[in-house]
Amino acid sequence: MTETNPTSDVFTNAALFIGGEWIDNSALDRYTHLDPSTGQPCGSFPKGGITEANAAVAAAHKAFATWREVSPEQRRDILLKAADLIAASAEEFAAIAARESGHPFNPNPASVRKLVEYFRYYAGWTDKLEGTTIPVAGAVLNYSQHEPYGVVLAISSWNGPATSAVMKIAAALAAGNCVVLKPPELGSFGPLRLGEILTEAGLPPGVLNIVTGGADLGEALVKHPGIGKISFTGGIQTARSICRSAAENMTPVVMELGGKSANIIFDDADLTRATTMAAHMGCVQNAGQGCLFPTRLLVQANVYDEVVEKVIAYVSKVKIGLPFTPGVTMGPVINEQACNRILSVIETAQREGHGTLLYGGERLGGELAGGYYISPAVFGNVDNKSALAQHEVFGPVLSIIRFDTEEEAVALANDTVYGLAGYVHTQNLSRAHRVAAKLEAGYIGVNGFPPMPVNAPFGGFKQSGYGREGGKVGIEEFLRTKNVYVALS
């Protein structure tokens, strides 16, 4: 079947968004983005630097003086309008994701519905941010109140560019902050389209600023004394650098980082359901490029062979191809560098005996040769101490590990520096709760992959970060508490 290819003007009109103006300074270098499905250029945008960082922060501070006084009802209505506009533009956002990231095209994908849900959910919080009255002795009124930080720096991830951005900016705006958004070089077009949407929804100039660029831009923003709080999604090495730079001004930081999440299948699980989830979310969805994906599959010994057989049967039938081709369920990894790195991980794991490669792991050729396609790689009998099991691959590579007892499963699952997510498959309710309580991770799924409800908190333990996105705590991250003590006599 021939592929259809809806498009968006954002690929040809990309510019910096500062103080309500779209700025395309011809003196700036430009970043050319390659469509990962073809390896061909699909758009470009200017690369801001220190000057643009200063301008964005200044514009946000100017806007904050009035935005903080905007009524909760007005903020609510703007966010609700943005949600409606995104819903009406679902096909366009899906097309942007397909070209920008290689995701299989769906005219009404769950990822776009999630953008709508985040704006609607946090719109509902704008008039519910209540303080408390605190009883103290004497003729005194003592109360606390929540206040925005002022200017929030949001640094979003490339593997879900629009979703990552919205999880931050919807909550920050609802709390009364202004935002400087730095989207990733590998995922800027979706966030730039959000800037257009929010402007159309009535967001005042300067309340949201979007500055595209590289590491030098990010460093300038992180070190800027005008930033009140930083919210970052990305890798551990970048996170450490951000923390060091943020420490200069004691700027608080929220970190949502990587993972090597364990997916435990016990022998009493619904094996068809469990293995379908394990295979798809472990190495097919988003070509394995997800921080919370269950990339370590722990299987009880007496069902190990059956689970392995079912996993391989599933991945062998996956249709890999160009994102706009009907029926495609798996696309490419993000770029040539990532492709070569993942293939090197697979080669090293084979050479050093980290496990046995049971299926896949090759770069695909033919009509897909120009893109960055890797077939799902399934390793069996993986050593949990090996680099394959311990390091985040961020690609379509699944490690299967055998265990005997519940205690061993928990120990293996927790034997990692990460703690973002964990998954348990069992029909024993007591075991499900018991194991979930023992897993050292911030996001647990039982008998399925949780769809990240917008009203639930998401975040990690250990080196998977700290702070939370989503739910009530997600908006509380962008509020600071002030206490007021009033002597009445």
| Active site positions, annotated | 168, 256, 291, 469
- CB 438: neighbour CB atoms within 10 A? 16
User: Is 141 strand, coil or helix?
Assistant: strand
Chain centroid, CA 373 distance in Å: 21
| Main-chain dihedrals φ then ψ at residue 80, nearest 5 degrees | -65, -40
Strand partners, 32: 44
Strand partners, 34: 41
Three-class secondary structure assignment of 363-413? ECCHHHCCCCCECCEEEECCCCCCHHHHCCCCCCEEEEEEECCHHHHHHHH
In angstroms, the Cα distances linking 292 to 159, 163, 204, 223, 341 are: 12, 14, 35, 29, 20
The structure tokens listed for 319 are 């249709």
Question: Cα Rg for the chain, rounded, in angstroms?
Answer: 23
Three-class secondary structure assignment of 246-282? HHHHCCCEEEECCCCCEEEECCCCCHHHHHHHHHHHH
Q: Yes or no: say if 6 and 47 are a contact pair by the CB < 8 Å rule.
A: no
Which residue in 335, 350, 346, 333 sits closest to 395, CA to CA?
333
Which residue in 147, 150, 158 sits closest to 103, CA to CA?
158
